[in-house]
Amino acid sequence: MTEILILGAGYTGMAATMALTGRLKGRDDVHITLVNPQTRFTERLRLHQVAAGEQLADLQIPDQLAGTGVQFVQGWVTAVNADDQTVRVDDQHVLGYDILVYALGSVADTDTVPGVDEFAYTLNTEQDATALAGQLDRIGTGTVVVAGGGLTGIESAAEIAEQHPGIDVVLLSRDEPGSMMSPKARARLHAGLHRLGVAVRSGVDIVKVMSDGVALADGEVVSAQAVLWTTGVRVSPMAAAAGLQVDDRGRILTDEALRSVSHPNVYAVGDAAAIRQRYGVIHGTCQSGIPTAVHAATSIVRQLNGKQPKPFRFGYVHQPVSLGRRDAVIQFTHPDDRPKRWFLAGRLAAAYKETVSSSPWTTYRLIRTIPSIGLMAWRRGGGSTR
């Protein structure tokens, strides 16, 4: 019996699980275990909507796994020993594996700037987003600072401004929001933020977060009743502690087939992996994460069948960003993520964004039922913190 252990049931972990069950259907010589701290699936692409007060569907992971034969273990992964091929869960019991899929993802970096961990809200979990929603309801009026001009920061600022018109939203960032877009798409993005009343200030560095606002590098203090931190990401130090070879950001270094370069029986996918393509290391988005998961599953099946895994190849197609519920900008891109000249905006773009950010449950069912559909799963990509 080959034991396959998958750590993390986010977008990539669930995609890998569904792809494996579809490809291994009918085999009784493989056992799959999926570990996740909670039974509810977190729609991270939509947490800015939760923060603004919207309720999302209760997507239960065990329901999605019904009939697949996958064993679900609820608990926190507290240690990995890559040499012994074991994983400790909740510091209470140990799971062994023959093949490991490491899909633990990333979270907002709350360690670099003083006060972030203590005073700022994040969108790491649905509980975090719900906590911010409660604070917004309590304050009613006042100022909210959104730190970070990446796609998550832009979407969060727009969503809060639209759902809470009595609150002043200030978007602070080092780089200009939408800097990855073409000039016309970026101008349309800023017009949408202006329409919603979001005050955008770029070229600023936040050096401290306090209970009543943020301090900037030039000495200015921006007062706020809530601060949402969306800038920078970090991965768990668990991979390095496990003895896996990692880069300077703690991401697992992989070969072309997405296997750890130091431990080939470990596949790393999504934000937890440093996956190099011809144009550089891919950045963490759902758009790239699901394809890494599907490819890892395909590689594992090839390995079980005595074949060599094939190299992973990926190209970006778009940078979608919502501006509330009725507006969005979709920047179409070259495979290396450089912006093309054309983009989509307005209500049609909002519908497009809603489609790519909607519940992945249908995609997972397709990946399981029609394994080849996984090769097209990247078309459901969306933005995440950059």
**Same domain, yes or no, for 217 and 249?**
no
Closest CA to 132 of 121, 141, 116, 145: 121
Q: What local confidence, expressed as pLDDT, does residue 371 receive?
A: 57
**Same domain, yes or no, for 91 and 160?**
no
**140 domain residue, yes or no:** yes
**252 domain residue, yes or no:** yes
Question: CA-to-CA distance for 236 and 239, rounded, in angstroms?
Answer: 7
**Same domain, yes or no, for 309 and 242?**
yes
DSSP string, 133-165: HHHHHHH-SEEEEEE--SHHHHHHHHHHHHH-T
Q: What local confidence, expressed as pLDDT, does residue 283 receive?
A: 86
Q: Pull the structure tokens for residue 273.
A: 């992996």
Q: What local confidence, expressed as pLDDT, does residue 311 receive?
A: 95
**355 domain residue, yes or no:** no
**Same domain, yes or no, for 98 and 242?**
yes
The phi, psi pair for 260, rounded to 5°, reads: -55, 135
**Same domain, yes or no, for 160 and 263?**
no
**330 domain residue, yes or no:** no
Residue 328 pairs with which residues in a beta bridge? 322
Q: What local confidence, expressed as pLDDT, does residue 5 receive?
A: 98
Please give the DSSP secondary-structure letter assigned to residue 53: T
How many domains in the chain? 2
Question: CA-to-CA distance for 278 and 353, rounded, in angstroms?
Answer: 28
Quick: pLDDT tens for 143-155. Answer: 999 999 999 999 9
Question: CA-to-CA distance for 329 and 51, rounded, in angstroms?
Answer: 21
Residue 201 belongs to a domain with what CATH number? 3.50.50.60
Place of tokens 């998958």: 6
Quick: pLDDT tens for 160-184. Answer: 999 999 999 999 999 999 999 999 9
Question: CA-to-CA distance for 86 and 8, rounded, in angstroms?
Answer: 15
Segments of the chain scoring below 70 in pLDDT:
371-386
Q: What local confidence, expressed as pLDDT, does residue 376 receive?
A: 47
Give whole-number Cα distances, 234 to 72, 150, 220, in Å. Answer: 26, 15, 27
**Same domain, yes or no, for 182 and 259?**
no
Residue 330 pairs with which residues in a beta bridge? 320, 344
Please give the DSSP secondary-structure letter assigned to residue 124: S
| Contact present, 352 and 320 (Cβ < 8 Å) | yes
User: Which residue, 283, 314, 345, sits at the end of a domain?
Assistant: 314
**340 domain residue, yes or no:** no
Question: CA-to-CA distance for 252 and 240, rounded, in angstroms?
Answer: 8
**145 domain residue, yes or no:** yes
Q: What local confidence, expressed as pLDDT, does residue 364 receive?
A: 87
Q: Pull the structure tokens for residue 306.
A: 């005595």
**Same domain, yes or no, for 24 and 170?**
no
Q: What local confidence, expressed as pLDDT, does residue 356 receive?
A: 87
Q: Any residues with CB less than 8 A from the CB of 271 and at least 6 apart, and which?
A: 12, 105, 106, 233, 235, 251, 284, 289, 384
| Contact present, 228 and 147 (Cβ < 8 Å) | yes
**Same domain, yes or no, for 92 and 26?**
yes
Question: CA-to-CA distance for 258 and 252, rounded, in angstroms?
Answer: 9
**368 domain residue, yes or no:** no
Q: Pull the structure tokens for residue 61.
A: 């992971």
**Same domain, yes or no, for 131 and 280?**
no
**Same domain, yes or no, for 168 and 213?**
yes
Please compute Rg for the chain using Cα positions.
21
Q: What local confidence, expressed as pLDDT, does residue 362 receive?
A: 83
Question: CA-to-CA distance for 317 and 175, rounded, in angstroms?
Answer: 23
**344 domain residue, yes or no:** no
**Same domain, yes or no, for 127 and 150?**
yes
DSSP string, 99-117: EEEE---EEE--SSSTTHH
Question: CA-to-CA distance for 287 and 275, rounded, in angstroms?
Answer: 14
Residue 329 pairs with which residues in a beta bridge? 321, 345
Q: What local confidence, expressed as pLDDT, does residue 372 receive?
A: 57
| Contact present, 166 and 141 (Cβ < 8 Å) | yes
Q: What local confidence, expressed as pLDDT, does residue 200 receive?
A: 98
User: Which residue, 196, 229, 262, sits at the end of a domain?
Assistant: 229
Domain that holds residue 30: 2-37+75-108+233-314
Please give the DSSP secondary-structure letter assigned to residue 250: S
**Same domain, yes or no, for 211 and 262?**
no
User: Which residue, 257, 290, 314, sits at the end of a domain?
Assistant: 314
